[in-house]
Chains A and B, each alone.
Chain A
Amino acid sequence: IWVQTRGCLLKEVHLNVTDLGLGYQTKEELIFRYCSGSCAEAETNYDKILNNLTHNKKLDKDTPSRTCCRPIAFDDDLSFLDDNVVYHTLKKHSARKCACV
């Protein structure tokens, strides 16, 4: 039986800089890379315990974060010229490497 490999992967999408919603006015574009996918397979006893304790209401109102698919390294900086002829440089704006953390 073929089991589809699932999990936390690096994906990319071609966007206009304006799509980022950061307030820049420019016609320049970029490749935005992000981390997405399930981290269920990477869960530890810690995560299972948290799951059980939350379910059994043993943690008062706390809901600690479980394993997340997040960037563990960021892409190179991105520079662009805006419509008022001013340069901007974005740092840590796009993922390079993903992991369940």
Chain B
Amino acid sequence: PAVARENNCLNAAKACNLNDTCKKYRSAYISPCTSRVSTAEACNKRKCHKALRQFFDKVPPKHSYGMLYCSCPLSDQTACSERRRQTIVPVCSYEEKQKPNCLELQASCKTNYICRSRLADFFVNCQPEPRSLSGCLKENYADCLLSYSGLIGTVMTPNYLRSPQISVSPYCDCSNSGNNKDECDKLTEFFTENTCLRNAIQAFGNGTDVGVWQPMSPV
């Protein structure tokens, strides 16, 4: 029988607002991330990032991941996916006037101890391994999801791209990479074409991440 498609991202937002802790920390980041501070700046990005880090630190994964890693039908490019893209309030936490080069962004991340350690965790825990059933070198989706969400609120804050399949990236590209084009492409592909991360996100979204690592059907 034809079943009306549920909007998992909307359901996660509803569940969050019915939980006192999630509701509190959700509005605690949405406020600074949506408050205009001057005519020049849409928000205080530093405060927005700090509150986003707090949200993922304090709210149980059931709720925080529920919103960040909610699954949307492939056909959906609006209601569900757009809501998922908006989770981190990208207009404040993600977008900039100009897209920096990804290697430059990485260099600036490495000057900050929180960003440096979280980026290192992400590279370790979401390392793809094609020969592994899970798609990951370290067969632990939870660690990969934790490391990815840990990047939110740093200069390397990633977000979903408007793409039919799950693809994420920090706000940067590889133009003006000069001799380091290959290195830059490698860095961006770790985000945009990472099978381990994609499987981990899909497993959470489908509710199949129960400790048994099964390959996900290709999207």
Contacts and interface: CB of A to CB of B under 8 A. Distances in A.
Interface of A: 14, 27-31, 76-81, 85, 87, 89
Nearest to A30: B17
Interface in B15-45: 17-18, 20, 23-24, 26-28, 30-31, 33-34
B216 interface: no
Contacts of B33: 87
B31 A30 contact: no
B contact face: mostly helix, strand, loop, or mixed: helix
Interface residues of B, number: 20
Interface of B: 7, 10, 13-14, 17-18, 20, 23-24, 26-28, 30-31, 33-34, 82-83, 86, 89
B86 A81 contact: yes
Nearest to B9: A81
A57 to B, nearest CB: 49
A17 B46 CA distance: 30
Contact of B30 (A14, A31, A89): A89
Contact of B13 (A77, A80, A85): A80
Contacts, number: 49
Given A30-B17, A85-B86, A89-B34, A79 B26 contact: yes
Contacts of A28: 10, 13-14, 17
Contacts of A14: 18
- Report, nearest first, the 3 A-B pairs whose CB atoms are least far apart: A79-B30, A79-B27, A77-B27
9 contacts: A27-B7, A31-B17, A78-B17, A79-B27, A85-B83, A85-B86, A87-B33, A87-B89, A89-B31
Contacts of A29: 14, 17-18
A31 B86 CA distance: 23
